C-alpha cells in the first residue's frame, strides 16, 4: 500500500467535486448503493440530473432507506431499488434479468459492491468469497448487462459507460506475489495459499485484468462504449465490516487520520463515468490516468492478463450462457 505520508496527503487533497458534470436524462445503475461510496455516488448522480437511478443493494430495507434519503436531498424521484447478492451467481443472473426486462435504456453502470476478507471463506458456489464477489460475480454482472448498454448507443447515440471500483494496490503489485503458472484465479481459490495481504492485492489485480481485457475487446471503436476502473483512495467506509472487532478498533485511528470521507471518494467514481475513450481499460485515480505501475507494465502482466480473463470466462460459462456476449 501507499505510505502513511502519501495517504495523509491524499486525505487532505481529495479529488475535485465533479459538480460541472451533467447526467441529464441518463439512466444510471449503481451497485452497493445503500451506503458508503455507492450511496454517495448515487446521490451525486441525482444531484447532477440523472433521470433514473437503479440502486443495486443486498438489503431491500437499506436500499429503500437510501432511496428515501436521495429523494429528500434531490429532485430525482425516479429511483428503483433492486436486490442482488454477489455471493451467488443465481442472484446476479436474476438481478441482470430484471434490469434487462424492466429498464428500457442504460447509460451508466457503476459497480461499487465489494468485500474485504481477513480469512478464507467459501461462497455458496464454492469459490473464495472475495474472489466470488469482487471478481467472478462482478464480471458476470458486467457481461449480462453489456447488451443493454450496447443497445443504448443505437437508441439515442449516447456512449455508455461502465466502471468498476478497483484499487491503487494494482499499481504496487510485487512480482513475488504472482503465481508462476499464470493461474491467478486458481491461486486465489486455494485455501492453502490464503494470505490476507497477498489476497487483497491479487483480487484487485484479477478484477483490473478483467476490465483491461474486456475494454480491449469491446472498445476497439471509441464511439461504442467506455469501460474503465477507478480507485477512490482509502475511505472511511464499512469495507472492514467482516474483520474481527479488535482489528477494526486498531485500524480505526489510522483510517480516521489518513482516510477520505465516502463523499470525497465518490467524486472519483462519478467523474470516472464521464471520461472518454482515452480511459478505456485504465485506472482513474486522483483526477488522472496514471501510467501503469512497474508490474502492470511488465511482460509478466501482459501474459497474465489474458490468461486471467480466460480463467474467469471458463468459470462463468459453467454457470451462464455467454454466447454472443464476447
Residue 326 covered by a domain: no
Q: Please name which of 69, 91, 89 lies closest in space to residue 79, comparing C-alpha atoms.
A: 69
Does residue 200 carry a catalytic annotation?
A: yes
Is the pLDDT at 176 greater than 60, yes or no? yes
324: in domain: no
Residue among 200, 201, 218, 282 flagged as catalytic = 200
On the 0-12 / 13-18 / 19+ scale of CB atoms within 10 A, 314 is: exposed
Contact 233, 265 (CB under 8 A): yes
Whether 16 is in a domain gets the answer: no
Provide the mean pLDDT of the chain. Answer: 91
Q: Please give the pLDDT value at position 162.
A: 98
Q: Determine which one of 26, 204, 218, 282 is catalytic.
A: 204
Nearest C-alpha neighbor of 196 from the set 235, 244, 164: 244
Cβ atoms within 10 A of the Cβ of 20, count? 9
- What residue numbers bound the domain in which 121 lies? 4-11+22-317
Q: What is the pLDDT of residues 26-44, one digit of tens each?
A: 999 999 999 999 999 999 9
Please compute the mean of the pLDDT values over residues 3-24 and round it to a whole number: 81
Cβ contacts of 20 within 8 Å, gap of 6 or more: none
User: Is 155 a residue whose pLDDT tops 60?
Assistant: yes
In-domain check, residue 322: no
Contact 80, 101 (CB under 8 A): no
How many domains does the chain contain in total? 1
Q: Is 204 a catalytic residue?
A: yes
Is 325 domain-assigned?
Answer: no
In a domain, 260, yes or no: yes
- What gap in Å lies between CA 266 and CA 235, rounded to an integer? 9
pTM of the model: 0.93
Q: Where are the alpha helices (DSSP H) in the chain?
A: 4-12, 36-47, 60-73, 89-102, 129-131, 138-156, 184-188, 196-218, 245-258, 262-272, 299-317
| pLDDT of amino acid 321 | 83
- CATH classification of the domain holding 232: 3.40.50.720
* Residue 30 falls inside a structural domain: yes
Measured in degrees and rounded to the nearest 5, phi and psi for residue 96 equal -65, -35
Residue 109's pLDDT band (boundaries 50, 70, 90)?
very high
Q: Among 24-38, 83-97, 122-136, 221-235, which is the least confidently predicted range?
A: 221-235
pLDDT band at residue 306 using 50, 70 and 90 as cut-offs? very high
Residue 158: inside a domain: yes
pLDDT at 224: 87
Amino acid at each position: 500500500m501507499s505510505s502513511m505520508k502519501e495517504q495523509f496527503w491524499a486525505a487532505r487533497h481529495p479529488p475535485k467535486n465533479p459538480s460541472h458534470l451533467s447526467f441529464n436524462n441518463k439512466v444510471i445503475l449503481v451497485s452497493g448503493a445503500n451506503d458508503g461510496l455507492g450511496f454517495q455516488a448515487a446521490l451525486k448522480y441525482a444531484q447532477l440530473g440523472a433521470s433514473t437511478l437503479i440502486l443495486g443493494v443486498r438489503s431491500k430495507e437499506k436500499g429503500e432507506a437510501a432511496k428515501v434519503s436521495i429523494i429528500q436531498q434531490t429532485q430525482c424521484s425516479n429511483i428503483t431499488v433492486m436486490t442482488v447478492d454477489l455471493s451467488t451467481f443465481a442472484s446476479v443472473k436474476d438481478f441482470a434479468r430484471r434490469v434487462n426486462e424492466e429498464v428500457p435504456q442504460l447509460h451508466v453502470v457503476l459497480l461499487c459492491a465489494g468485500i474485504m476478507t481477513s480469512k478464507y471463506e467459501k461462497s455458496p458456489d464454492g469459490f473464495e468469497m472475495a474472489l466470488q464477489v469482487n471478481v467472478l460475480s462482478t464480471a458476470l454482472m458486467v457481461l449480462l448487462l453489456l447488451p443493454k448498454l450496447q443497445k443504448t448507443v443505437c437508441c439515442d447515440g449516447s456512449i455508455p459507460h461502465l466502471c468498476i471500483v478497483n484499487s491503487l494496490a494494482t499499481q504496487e503489485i510485487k512480482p513475488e506475489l504472482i503465481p508462476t503458472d499464470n493461474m491467478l484465479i486458481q491461486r486465489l481459490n486455494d485455501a492453502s495459499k490464503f494470505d490476507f495481504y497477498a489476497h487483497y492485492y491479487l483480487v484487485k489485480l484479477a478484477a483490473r485484468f478483467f476490465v483491461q481485457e474486456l475494454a480491449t475487446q469491446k472498445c476497439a471503436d471509441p464511439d461504442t462504449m467506455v469501460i474503465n476502473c477507478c480507485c477512490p483512495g482509502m475511505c472511511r467506509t464499512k469495507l472492514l465490516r467482516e474483520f474481527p472487532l479488535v482489528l477494526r478498533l486498531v485500524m480505526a485511528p489510522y483510517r480516521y487520520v489518513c482516510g477520505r470521507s465516502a463523499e470525497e471518494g465518490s467524486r472519483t467514481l462519478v467523474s470516472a463515468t464521464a471520461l472518454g475513450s482515452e480511459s478505456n481499460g485504465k485506472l482513474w485515480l486522483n483526477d488522472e490516468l496514471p501510467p501503469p505501475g512497474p508490474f502492470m507494465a511488465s511482460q509478466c502482466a501482459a501474459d497474465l492478463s489474458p490468461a486471467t480473463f480466460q480463467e474467469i470466462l471458463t468459470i462463468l460459462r459453467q454457470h451462464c450462457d455467454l454466447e454472443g456476449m464476447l
